Amino acid sequence: PTAPTAPAAPVTPLPSPLPMSTTSPSMPAARPLPIMTDKLQHVQLSPPSLPAFGNPGEFSAAPTSSAVGTQSGDQLPSALPLPMSLVSLDGPFWRFGNLQAVLRKIERSEMALPTVSEIHTSLKLAGLLQAHELQRAIQRYFDGISMEVIEALDTRLMACHGVLLEDLPLEALERFTQDHSVLEAARARNAEIEGEEFSECGAASPAADSVAARESIDNIEDVRARIYGADRFPILLPEAEGRGSISGLAISDKRRQLVIELQTQSSALQEYMEMHERQMDEGRGASTGSKLRVWTPWVQAIASVLVNPETSRQRGKGAKSLKLLRSLGLEPELLGVIACQTVLNLILLPSFRRKDDIKEAANSSSLGQVPYVTTVITVGEAVELEKWWRELSGDRPMQSRQGGKTDRATFMASLLRKQRSCQAWSEAAQTVPVGSALVDLLLDFAYVAVDRNSLSLEELERAVEIQQPEATSQKVMVKAFEHGLRREGRKTVGYISLNPAARAQLNLAEADMMAFIEPKHQPMVIPPLPWQPCGDTPQGPYLLHKVHFIRTSNQALTNLRSYSAKRVSRVMDFLGGTPWQVNAEVLEIMKEVKRRDLGVAEVPPNDDPPIPAIPPVEELELLSEKERSELLLRRHNAQKRCRELQSERPTFQLKLRVAEDFVASKKLYFPHNVDFRGRAYPVPPHLNHISDDVCRGLLKFAEPKPLGKEGLFWMKVNLANLYGKNKISFDERVAWVDAQRDWIMEVAEDPLAPGNLERWCNADDGPWQALARCQELAAVWKSDDPEAFLSQLPIHLDGSCNGLQHYAALGRDEAGGQAVNLVPSDRPQDVYTVVLEIVKDKVAKDSERPVKELEDDQLDDEKRAALLAADPGHMARRLIELDVLKRKVVKQTIMTICYGVTTVGARKQVQGQLEDMVGEQVDPKEIVKLAAYLSKLVLKSIDEVFERAMRIKLWFDRISKEFNQLEVPNSWKSPIGLACVQPYRKPKKVNVNTKRQKVTLRDGDSPQMDKNKQRMGFPPNFIHSLDATHMMLVAEGCERRGISFAGVHDSFWTHACDAPILNEIIREAFIELHGQPLLEDLYQDLRVHLGGIEPPPLPEQGTLDLSVVRNSPYIFN
């Protein structure tokens, strides 16, 4: 029983934060402090006041050592069921998995742990309830002295509240010595006062009003607000730095990273449980109240069906799937959260590799529609992973603390459990019934209240009246999700989407919905762990999250057990070790743009554009054909924009949320891995430097460097490039920036003022990056010593159509090399302009063809349009009339020609540019026809300029055909030593019947090659392996020279002062790469691969001398 609270003692002056200990957990502890000698021997929690610590057979809990002089380098025993010490966090990856399992059980109150009240009582009995005594005890704990009571407090704070013990402010320690409830959740304290039982775990969350909470400390929520603000993760506010009970601990960042990874996985379920409990306490229903999370009743409805054994779903279609779902032994609420979270992630955050994919989906009206098969499989796999975690996490047997040997009986029992769990999911087809059962429950029981006046008569007939007494007649319930069918070529595909009426309702609660859109891989606050990708026990960069070193759908093809990829992994370690920061100033401006709903610089507007209504038939007939066409076009464009915004809003909100979570972090790290070609990518998916302008504008280097003599020059070059001034010399770019000095200073002073907003928003290649550079440049101009100014923004050196640069170097093509800046020149060459001029000549010739007269007045509009599309003269004259023959129309196709762009792909690229330019005035069908005509001319013009490169590409095609004849995948070794194997195989398919439709499931890959993908993929993939090798060679050079580096495929970044060094490294690495006989080596490798078949002869090379690259200033400019 809890001891009665003693009268409050007079408040003594708070001690200062203890400095960083001179010892570490791996070194002998310093001489014990005299004041602690007697007390440390008695700081053991008495058994009568404590519940048992878990299962003794699973974790052996040795008694706490009472020796004061225990050496911290020893294997310290622990009375808590922790597989590793929280003050050392040292061990193999699987042991971190065990630790995660234990902390998660503690968080869910599935494992007994002393309460804060019991910990307070034990400290009192030991005479440690004085702030300076408790502070010293915490210091000794971090020095490695085993103290059960402090370890229990540390574990509870970390597992249940995401608070680090060393971060506790001294004021909180002082308050805790007088009142234990200061380290409890507010609801736990209220329950104690009212004599109720309440679990302390899972109740602490960021305070809604963090400013008010910082003024006083009454509970753990106030403590979090004081030290972390409103952030979910334990990242100290600037004002809280150095004010914790123990400051400067080397282990703190690693402990912080552990909590971030723990919280990332459990925050959605935790939020649901907290919200549900608060609703019940307040006596409110599950489906009313404006402050409720819109998804809360969905989870409750699914859970109620799963709990109720008398449900009507015991028979009929789907009954077996539901029975299987119930048999898994997972909490109904957890299954509900998994269903909601997974489906909303798929709908709200569709996976698009390029912006053009979003436009294409919007044009086809498929944006916001997720195939039913994808939904079912993804939900089923999420449940499968949770089941595996329950069965496998924490099952690896602990070593005996006495003998250091594994208990054989425990080990065999663990293997048996693993075998049984694997049998339940031995066939991929069994994932579908579980997923379909959950998705069907979501489709049937997820409702949203909407205004009945917003519904059509048909929709109103399907709506459900609200039964609550306080409901008004204006509101009805409609299903939040819809299942429908659409045609895709020859197939009919089932899909799931959000009901449009429900979608509008959900947009009002967009912030609430973000709780579900939780990226598993967040940026790290410690340097990523070194990659160990090869062998039987690969190690990734995170403490808890498993990440594959090579991104591919078939890990067996990576061959990482057969050879060493150490050189590539070292480069990934270097890239991941570059420290970043969130640019707080840009973040605040971005949030203000969102708040004001300005709708600029890729910040999506809060509201959808109005969709023009179709007038009644009698009014529509009064309109002329032109007026009807214009009305339908405006309506089409508005509907398309609404569909685009459905994806853009949550995507932007998620980027903003991650930035807000980490804005207080002094250093951020983005661990990298590679695809099968060697191209490097950051693992965190949403906020990283490889993403769009919003993300790039939010990031800066964490370690500033003085500009020096040349840094200001390159800072100005970078700003000019962002405004599209990259086709003039470097000196002219600097002069252009100097001429804009007045308005740059104005923009930096007040970016959102009328006039200033347009100036930075109009930057061609990145408004937010331009704004950040305007601000830093203005600060440089204001400084007394520009050379000493500490700059944090990266400058970019981008390749000039890099794929064609590699083709020109492979073929020693002098003309092609001149066009892509391999050859020195006074001004940068623009290959896009060269090709555009050829295209213009071809269009001009076609426009001179005679006009075809369509004499048949009986032709309908469709036939007339088809005849005109077949007339090159008409197409050419229409392009000239619309004035769309611009550089940006041909740029994307030229950039991707060496990466295997097809005729269809080129047409879509040109179509996207035409839609941006004239989509408001030209019918979409006509744009498609114009794009088809223009893209053919672009491809022909490219062949003329890069004749030798196209010969090499044809040679690659012939090589692919040889591989296809042997039924083996195209494979080669990249120049940096990565084994590249194309993973394109035909899938094995399994048909599974569900309640709503038949699901065709991809059950792995068959041995049969996908010959078309193998052939089409080889030329671009080989070139990608070359640009990836070049990037890695540059990274190695930067590491040797000691400068910062970040790479975005063919765009290389560093501090402004180090730009000349980076420029030199880039050119030398390019010469080193192409100085090797790459095609000859590939030819010899192919002779071995093809088993004696003689490969096609190598194409003839030109006369380009690669040494001239060393003197070319614009190769990366």
Q: Which of 1039, 1074, 1072 is nearest to 1058 (CA)?
A: 1039
pLDDT of the residue at 462: 64
Higher pLDDT, 1002 or 319: 319
Residue 756 CB neighbour total at 10 angstroms: 19
Say if residue 999's pLDDT is above 70: no
Find the catalytic residue in 218, 512, 798, 923.
798
Q: Is residue 798 flagged as an active site residue?
A: yes
> What pairing do the DSSP bridges indicate for beta strands 1051-1055 and 1046-1048?
antiparallel
pLDDT of the residue at 368: 67
Which tokens is 174 given? 């002082």
Q: Which of 661, 702, 698, 592 is nearest to 229 (CA)?
A: 661
Residues 900-924, mean pLDDT to the nearest whole number: 83
- pLDDT band for position 333 (cuts 50, 70, 90): confident
Say if residue 1002's pLDDT is above 70: no
Own/partner contacts of 413-417, CB < 8 Å, gap of 24 or more, are 417/391, 417/392
Separation CA 445–CA 443 (nearest Å): 6
Residues 175-195, mean pLDDT to the nearest whole number: 71
Say if residue 202's pLDDT is above 60: no
Say if residue 995's pLDDT is above 60: no
Residues 20-40, mean pLDDT to the nearest whole number: 34
pLDDT of the residue at 535: 72
Mean of the per-residue pLDDT values of the chain: 77
Question: Which of 616-620, 713-717, 935-939 is the least confident region?
Answer: 616-620
Residue 106 CB neighbour total at 10 angstroms: 23
Residues 851-875, mean pLDDT to the nearest whole number: 64
pLDDT of the residue at 562: 73
Residues 1071-1082, mean pLDDT to the nearest whole number: 92
- pLDDT band for position 39 (cuts 50, 70, 90): very low
Output Rg (C-alpha) for the chain, integer angstroms: 32
Q: Are 450 and 475 in contact (CB under 8 A)?
A: yes
Residues 537-556, mean pLDDT to the nearest whole number: 81
- pLDDT band for position 578 (cuts 50, 70, 90): very high
Higher pLDDT, 709 or 437: 709
Tokens 């609420």 found at: 333
Higher pLDDT, 323 or 969: 969
Which tokens is 943 given? 């062949």
Strand partners, 479: 447
Tokens 């032109």 found at: 626
pLDDT of the residue at 788: 95
**Strand runs labelled E in 807-896:** none
Q: Are 509 and 223 in contact (CB under 8 A)?
A: no
Say if residue 830's pLDDT is above 60: yes
- pLDDT band for position 997 (cuts 50, 70, 90): low
Residues 315-335, mean pLDDT to the nearest whole number: 74
Q: Is residue 1050 flagged as an active site residue?
A: yes
Residues 860-869 pLDDT 10s = 556 666 666 6
pLDDT of the residue at 367: 54
pLDDT of the residue at 38: 36
pLDDT of the residue at 261: 87
Phi and psi at residue 977, to the nearest 5°? 105, 10
Which tokens is 736 given? 């252009």
> What pairing do the DSSP bridges indicate for beta strands 491-498 and 369-371?
antiparallel
DSSP-based helix, strand, coil % in the chain, nearest 5 = 50, 10, 40
Question: Which of 783-792, 973-982, 1063-1072 is the least confident region?
Answer: 973-982
pLDDT of the residue at 6: 37
Q: Is residue 407 flagged as an active site residue?
A: no
Separation CA 481–CA 67 (nearest Å): 63
Residues 72-89, mean pLDDT to the nearest whole number: 64
> What pairing do the DSSP bridges indicate for beta strands 672-675 and 550-551?
parallel
Residues 373-399, mean pLDDT to the nearest whole number: 68
Tokens 């029992």 found at: 413
Separation CA 933–CA 277 (nearest Å): 62
Cβ neighbours of residue 614 under 8 Å, at least 6 residues apart?
620, 631, 635
Helical spans, DSSP H, in 946-977:
947-965
Question: Which of 258-262, 264-268, 807-811 is the least confident region?
Answer: 264-268
Query: Taking the mean position of all CA atoms in its chain, how far away is CA 985?
Result: 27
Q: Residue 920 class from Cβ within 10 Å (0-12 exposed, 13-18 middle, 19+ buried)?
A: exposed
Q: Which of 615, 604, 529 is nearest to 261 (CA)?
A: 529
Q: Which of 691, 643, 692, 647 is nearest to 345 (CA)?
A: 647
pLDDT of the residue at 736: 95
Query: Taking the mean position of all CA atoms in its chain, how far away is CA 78?
Result: 37
Question: Which of 3-7, 196-200, 742-746, 870-874 is the least confident region?
Answer: 3-7
Find the catalytic residue in 440, 846, 1050, 1058.
1050
- What angle do the packed helices 584-596 and 767-782 form, to 10 degrees? 130
Find the catalytic residue in 655, 891, 929, 995.
891
pTM for this predicted structure: 0.74
Q: Are 106 and 159 in contact (CB under 8 A)?
A: yes
How wide is the angle at C-alpha 728 spanned by C-alphas 940 and 839, nearest 5°?
Answer: 15
Cβ neighbours of residue 1040 under 8 Å, at least 6 residues apart?
none
Highest mean pLDDT among 472-486, 636-650, 697-711, 978-992: 697-711
Q: Which of 958, 984, 980, 961 is nearest to 971 (CA)?
A: 980
Higher pLDDT, 748 or 921: 748
Q: Which of 697, 695, 703, 348 is nearest to 523 (CA)?
A: 695
Say if residue 458's pLDDT is above 70: no
Cβ neighbours of residue 847 under 8 Å, at least 6 residues apart?
873, 876, 877, 880
